[in-house]
Structure 1
Amino acid sequence: MELYPKFPTTFIETEGGGCYNWAAADSPMLGEAKVAACKLVLKPQGFALPHYADCPKVGYALEGKCGVGLTIPAANTKVKMAFIGIKKGEVIPVPYASVSWWYNSGDSDVVIVFMADAASVAGEIAYFVLTGSQGHLPAVSPEFISKTYQINVEKAEKLAGSQKGIMLIKLNEEQAETIPKPKEEILNIYTQNIDASSPDVEVNNGGKSTTLEATKFPFLEQVGLNVSRLVLETNATRAPWYASDLQVVYVVKGSDKVQIVGLQGKLVLNTNVETGQLFVVPKLFMVTISADAEGMELISIVTSTR
């Protein structure tokens, strides 16, 4: 069983930013467990073209702040489309097949790590881009586009073919002015600041643990996941624990040791972890983590809403 923590590899890099993923070929456990993860980096004025994915996922903002356009396909949701602001420390669920686009209007990079459940392609997130050189729209004949939008064929060709970017682009000043402002009144509906949330457990000089569940954050029901943040102080250790469902863990900050115990009391992992690595804990396996002199911070998902 291959459980060793891994760094992501480059999926795409452009002027607008980069996307980095944990490939199933490098981390077989992701494929076996049918979970996936990736990291999005948006440069200032970087724009992730409208896309959807084959699995529900949760994003956690590691750095910066950006705007997110999101469609919500659930029939019982009053707002079908929203433009949301997200900043460092916040969590945003992205439901299965929801179209989203992401824009960095700030002066520094935006970094978001995504963790997903039940990808169709085991261990990978499959993205379907609506426009750009790899998008769906250019593949549709201009005649169909012309009829759909009631424009002439020349305009249809321009609509479908003028965007030459691949997934991540950089907007110019004129394009940036067309981006709407996030709606303040929906901030706590689609996002939650887990960093600022009251911890479920807090120990002086030890650390704190915070979990977002659907009871606290109803929008999580849309993705079938819960999210936890663990902060360990200097040289602190998290007592051994287990979850009834699989855990995906990302090291936000710090380093030291992780141990995982599996069937028949067998130690299946005993290794050091570093900032930026990701590892998987199979369901019901016991895990314990210790921090070095700099402390440690982890973000994780469990593939259940409870």
Structure 2
Amino acid sequence: METKMAVEKADQIAFEGDSGGYYVWSNEKSPLLSDLKLAAGKLLLHPLGFALPHYADCNKFGYVLEGAITVGLVPPNSPEETILLIKKGDAVPLIAGVVSWWFNGGDTDAVIVFLGDSSKALIPGQFTYFFVAGVLGFLAGFQPDFVGKTFGLDETESENVVNSQQGALLVKLDQGIKFPEPSKHTKNKLYTTIDDPSGTVVVKGGGFINYLTEKKLPMLSEIGLGAKFVKLEGNAMLAPSYVADGSVQICYVGKGSGWIKVVGSEGKPALDSIVEEGDLFIVPQFFGLAGIADDCGMEVFSVVTSSKPVFGQLAGNTSVWNALAPVVLQATLNVTSEFEQLFKSKNSESITIVPPST
């Protein structure tokens, strides 16, 4: 399989103004997005920035990189909205067709990256958004006469509904505006903190890994996606692993820098590159992934195209090396029995993150 792989930053500006901006990874610069039916975008909200209510054509995750954001969610045909207050380190699953709005009520910028599945997208490799109001919204498209008849409004009222909002994707609201308080009992049901040092896997001096599956957040079964967060301390290594169920990983470097290797079926790296904050890379199905952080450490947020992915380790006591019979391991590596015993002893413990050498 010939796979053109690269590390890319968002290269296309969808919108930019005093309220913030929305940036995307284009298919032209990142063709693997459309090839593997993925998509990625990044939202910047300045203080008082408001993303108008909209829905998307893809299931995805949002991961908060900076700040805090108030989010409103309205499922189809629901008489009520749910309000979330998500902060740096939180991950929120978003179902296609659910209307959402996003508001930064803080004093500093808020940034969130969106990674998801574009298998049902109108344009493969991209999220397409449908706005309910504003110059790009449905009301503008249906026009005042249709809107008036629908809602029982006179001509002036219809013009007001359709044309008063002249913003597009994002608008800046007035100082002093007060949005609704967050709904109760939503954390760990509709979103969760994935940047959690208590982690699924914690290695002293090396870092931690958190896996987010439908077992931890049952609603993920509705969107068919999972997530993973890796934090490596300076010079620590993420040991080689793969996703055994054939899921694809789309990965975003949220902080720091390091070196990433992705290996396919030809016995050579398909990706062998330095990565830094803001970079996006993809791990195709069944490819192996490993990485080493620079002195500053590295954080990587990944979305996996399964809500119950199976991660296979390629090192340590849960790896194939520990399971193989001695004679099979000797034949596989073409080594002596003495070296086989040495190598197996090196795989007798868990190896997911390797701390830096002292």
TM-score bracket, normalised by the shorter chain, equals over 0.9
RMSD of aligned C-alpha atoms? 1.6
Over 3 Å counting, the alpha-carbon distance change for 1:281 and 1:80 in structure 2 is farther
Q: Spell out, residue by residue over 1:153-175, the C-alpha distance to the aligned partner (whole angstroms, 9 max, x if none).
A: 2101110111111110000136x
Conserved? CA contact 2:197–2:208, under 8 Å? no
Matches within 5 A, 1:194-205: 194-196=194-196, 198-205=198-205
- AA at the equivalent of 1:48: A
Q: Spell out, residue by residue over 1:223-246, the C-alpha distance to the aligned partner (whole angstroms, 9 max, x if none).
A: 211011001111011111111310
Paired position in structure 1 for 2:150 = 148
Measured after TM superposition, the shift of residue 197 of structure 1 is 6.6
Measured after TM superposition, the shift of residue 13 of structure 1 is 0.3
User: For residues 112 and 220 of structure 1, what CA distance do their matches in structure 2 show?
Assistant: 19
User: For residues 109 and 154 of structure 1, what CA distance do their matches in structure 2 show?
Assistant: 38
SS of 1:185's equivalent in the other structure is coil
User: For residues 63 and 222 of structure 2, what CA distance do their matches in structure 1 show?
Assistant: 16
Tell which deviates more after alignment, 188-197 or 112-121.
188-197
Measured after TM superposition, the shift of residue 80 of structure 1 is 5.6
Matches within 5 A, 1:12-51: 12-51=15-54
Of the three residues 42, 54, 58, the one matched with 1:55 is 58
Q: Spell out, residue by residue over 1:198-222, the C-alpha distance to the aligned partner (whole angstroms, 9 max, x if none).
A: 3121111111110111111112222
Tell which deviates more after alignment, 207-216 or 149-158.
149-158
Paired position in structure 2 for 1:6 = 8
SS of 1:156's equivalent in the other structure is helix
Measured after TM superposition, the shift of residue 92 of structure 1 is 0.7
Paired position in structure 2 for 1:287 = 289
Conserved? CA contact 1:58–1:223, under 8 Å? no
User: For residues 166 and 231 of structure 2, what CA distance do their matches in structure 1 show?
Assistant: 43
Tell which deviates more after alignment, 241-250 or 120-129.
120-129
Equivalenced residues, count: 301
Matches within 5 A, 1:203-214: 203-214=203-214
Tell which deviates more after alignment, 140-149 or 6-15.
140-149
Over 3 Å counting, the alpha-carbon distance change for 1:45 and 1:235 in structure 2 is same
Paired position in structure 1 for 2:107 = 107
Paired position in structure 2 for 1:230 = 230
User: For residues 218 and 18 of structure 1, what CA distance do their matches in structure 2 show?
Assistant: 32
- AA at the equivalent of 2:139: L
User: For residues 124 and 246 of structure 1, what CA distance do their matches in structure 2 show?
Assistant: 16
- AA at the equivalent of 1:35: L
Q: Which protein has the larger Cα radius of gyration, Structure 1 or Structure 2?
A: 2
- AA at the equivalent of 1:64: G
User: For residues 151 and 64 of structure 1, what CA distance do their matches in structure 2 show?
Assistant: 40
Question: Larger relative contact order (C-alpha < 8 A, sep ≥ 6)?
Answer: 1
Conserved? CA contact 1:229–1:299, under 8 Å? yes
Matches within 5 A, 1:169-248: 169-173=171-175, 176-177=177-178, 179-196=179-196, 198-243=198-243, 244-248=246-250
SS of 2:266's equivalent in the other structure is helix
- Does residue 69 (structure 1) correspond to residue 72 (structure 2)? The answer is yes
Unaligned runs of 5+ in 2: 309-358
Moved over 3 A (4+): none
TM-score under structure 1 normalisation? 0.94
Conserved? CA contact 1:31–1:122, under 8 Å? yes
Unaligned runs of 5+ in 1: none
SS of 1:273's equivalent in the other structure is strand
Conserved? CA contact 1:237–1:288, under 8 Å? yes
Tell which deviates more after alignment, 78-87 or 47-56.
78-87
User: For residues 186 and 35 of structure 1, what CA distance do their matches in structure 2 show?
Assistant: 27
Measured after TM superposition, the shift of residue 94 of structure 1 is 0.8
